[in-house]
Amino acid sequence: MNFEINCTLKCNQRCANCNRCPELFEKEDTDITPQQIDKFIEDIKNFKVNKIKLLGGEPLMSKHFRYVYDTLKKALDNKQFNMLKLDYNHTISLPKDLDTKGVRLMGKSLNNKRHLPVYWDPGDLGYQILPRPNCEMIRKCGQSYDYKGYLPCSAAIAIVRIFHLEHLYMDKPQRKPWGLDKLCKHCIFGMPDEWRKAHLFGVKNCLPEHRTKTKTFMKALDALEKYSYSMCEWGNSVTGVK
């Protein structure tokens, strides 16, 4: 089992084809707290964990980055899991005293890329995406953990916000994916390979007609702008961005 820890959803780059859509969360404190990363370490004790990726957003923008990183590094050294990878965009320097021994660091700078404000929905593009329990994102990247809890994958972070599906957050990691009947149908990562190769892997390949929100996303985003809604599981309310 693998996990992605999105230690913040703040970002300073908006990289091309980013699926986190950090602009949706700009008005919120999305940093994972020390208590939450301690809970994560406790949560995974009964799981056989292979890889953990620490990312975001831009993880180095989190006010708790050092605590989160050091906690994960200690768990790695204690062989609680096999691999720790830090994905960051190289715009912020790593602390000079950061212990990176045995940690994989993202080696490619993304400085030359900028986020495309695009939301694609397969249904609007003529595709019916069925639930994908063997999706490579779930299989390779693993379950997502962020400031609200667990999701089956990190692509779900923006989808649950846009489509009012935040009830799919879990308080504990799960042994099998969940909620895919509601998530996959909105996810561009379920699109056919030929479409993905044409539109997901480079700004230059993105057709102009696809650089705007598709109808389904426009409708859902409009609902976010007009209504606030309660996330009773965490006892707070959030308001859609405008």
Domains in the chain: boundaries:
2-239
Most confident range (mean pLDDT) of 109-118, 194-203, 232-241 is 194-203
**Integer Cα distance of 199 and 214 in angstroms:** 14
CATH number of 2-239: 3.20.20
**59 vs 241, residue with greater confidence:** 59
Q: Provide, rounded to the nearest whole percent, the portion of the chain with pLDDT above 70.
A: 82
Specify the pLDDT at position 219.
92
Specify the pLDDT at position 236.
30
**pLDDT tens track for 176-191:** 999 999 999 999 888 8
**202 vs 220, residue with greater confidence:** 220
Token pair recorded at residue 183:
């998530």
Give which of 45, 41, 93, 92 is closest to 67, Cα–Cα.
Answer: 41
Per-residue HEC secondary structure of the chain comes to CEEEEECCCCCCCCCCCCCCCHHHHCCCCCCCCHHHHHHHHHHHHHCCEEEEEEECCCHHHCCCHHHHHHHHHHHHHCCCEEEEEECCCCCCCCCCCCCCCCEEECCCCCCCCCCCCCCCCCCCCCCCCCCCCCCHHHHHHCEEEECCEEECCCCHHHHHHHCCCHHHCECCCCCCCCCHHHHHHHCHHHCCHHHHHHHCCCHHHCCHHHCCCCHHHHHHHHHHHHCEEEECCCCEEEECCC
**110 vs 18, residue with greater confidence:** 18
Angle at 62 between CA 168 and CA 70, to 5 degrees: 95
CA 132 and chain centroid, separation: 17
In whole numbers, what is the pLDDT of the chain averaged over residues?
86
Specify the pLDDT at position 241.
29
For the full predicted model, state whether its pTM sits above 0.85.
yes
Q: Which residue has tokens 């970002």? A: 11
Token pair recorded at residue 113:
């890329």
Name the pLDDT band for 29 (thresholds 50, 70, 90). very high
Please state which of the ranges 20-29, 63-72, 174-183 shows the lowest mean pLDDT: 20-29
**178 vs 223, residue with greater confidence:** 178
Specify the pLDDT at position 19.
82
Token pair recorded at residue 82:
């096999």
Give which of 68, 97, 77 is closest to 4, Cα–Cα.
Answer: 68
- Does residue 203 surpass a pLDDT of 90? no
- Does residue 224 surpass a pLDDT of 80? yes
Specify the pLDDT at position 119.
78
Per-residue pLDDT, averaged over 64-77, amounts to 98
Give which of 237, 138, 146 is closest to 189, Cα–Cα.
Answer: 138
**136 vs 237, residue with greater confidence:** 136
**Integer Cα distance of 83 and 50 in angstroms:** 6
Specify the pLDDT at position 21.
84
**pLDDT tens track for 47-59:** 999 999 999 999 9
Specify the pLDDT at position 109.
62
- Does residue 118 surpass a pLDDT of 50? yes
